[in-house]
Amino acid sequence: MFVLSIDRIDSVKGDSIEILLRQLGADKIQKVKGDLYFIKFMLDDDLEVMYTYNINAKNKYFLQRIMPYPLPQGAFSNEIKLVDFIKKDIKKFKEGLKSKYFDDYLETTAHAYKFIQQLDDFYLNYHVEEDSLASDSLSQISTTIDNLNKRLESLINHSKKID
């Protein structure tokens, strides 16, 4: 009787996902240390969309888009759902490339990501004291972020959703 080990089953799953991703047009798929994968799509000369996923201890596929900006996408119960999400995401980026504002979008996300990195660095690497400068500055930052979120919600409400 032929019995597959857990490692072999995971390898078979990884191989089946790789086939599906290559059919979507993945330019490069790299397996690193067991169950960690990197997938790259070149959508045009200047736009690289890259993902990473791993199969976690609960046998779920945890996916993160890492380029053009990092954004966790969540856990998927099977490889078909993972590949389906990537397929839809790539389609959305291809549509987004048609917009004359796409470069502005990428620049804005880069600025937002840089802000998150700096805020993280500030809180984790500096003594945040209870003084008026820190309190006033953090209050102003919070208010500004609230205003930006309201402005974005307004843009969303005034724009036609893509199906």
Name the most confidently modeled range: 1-15, 17-31, 91-105.
91-105
Give the separation between CA 141 and CA 112, rounded to whole angstroms.
13
Q: Is the Cβ–Cβ distance between 43 and 35 less than 8 Å?
A: no
Contacts of 22 (CB under 8 A, 6+ apart): 29
In the chain, how long is the greatest CA-to-CA distance? 73
Pairing relationship of beta strands 61-67 and 48-55 according to DSSP bridges: antiparallel
User: Per-residue pLDDT tens for 83-110?
Assistant: 999 999 999 999 999 999 999 999 999 9
The Cα 77–Cα 53 span in angstroms is 13
Place of tokens 């309201």: 150
Query: Which tens digit of pLDDT belongs to each residue from 114-162?
Result: 999 999 998 899 887 777 677 788 889 999 999 999 999 999 999 988 7
Residue 96 pLDDT: 92
**pLDDT confidence tier of residue 33, bands split at 50, 70 and 90:** confident
According to DSSP, residue 57 is labeled T
- Give Cα 35 to chain centroid, integer Å: 18
User: How does residue 8 score in pLDDT terms, banded at 50, 70 and 90?
Assistant: very low
